[in-house]
Amino acid sequence: MFLAVLLATGFIWNELSDEKTSSAKSLQTPSTEKFTKAVEVEPSAEVTPPVEVAQPVENVPQSDQFIIANQDFSNLQLYEYNKPVYDSYGFWQRQEGGMATVIPDLQPYYGEHIVYLTFDDGPDNKNTPQILDILRNENVPATFYVLGAMVEKNPEVLKRIFNEGHAIGNHSYNHNYNELYSSPWNFIEQFQRTDEIIMSQIGVRPLIIRAPGGTYGAFNQDYWDMVKSSGYVEHDWNVSSGDATPKGATASEEINNIISQINTYNFKSAIVLMHSTAAKDETVKALPDIIHFFKERGYTFGVITPMTPTPW
Told to judge if 275 belongs to the known catalytic residues of this protein, a careful annotator would answer yes
* Half-sphere exposure (Cβ direction) of 218: Cα atoms closer than 13 Å: 23
From 166, 171, 235, 275, the catalytic residue: 275
From 87, 120, 236, 243, the catalytic residue: 120
- Alpha-carbon distance 175 to 172, whole Å? 6
3-state secondary structure the chain: CHHHHHHHHCCCCCCCCCCCHHHCCCCCCCCCCCCCCCCCCCCCCCCCCCCCCCCCCCCCCCCCCCEECCCCCCCCCCCCCCCCEEECCCHHHHHHCCCCCCCCCCCCCCCCCEEEEEEEEECCCCHHHHHHHHHHHHCCCCEEEECHHHHHHCHHHHHHHHHCCCEEEECCCCCCHHHHCCCHHHHHHHHHHHHHHHHHHHCCEECEECCCCCCCCCCCHHHHHHHHHCCCEECCCCEECCCCCCCCCCHHHHHHHHHHHHHHHCCCEEEEEEECCCCCHHHHHHHHHHHHHHHHCCCEECCCCCCCCCCC
**Active site residues per annotation:** 120, 275
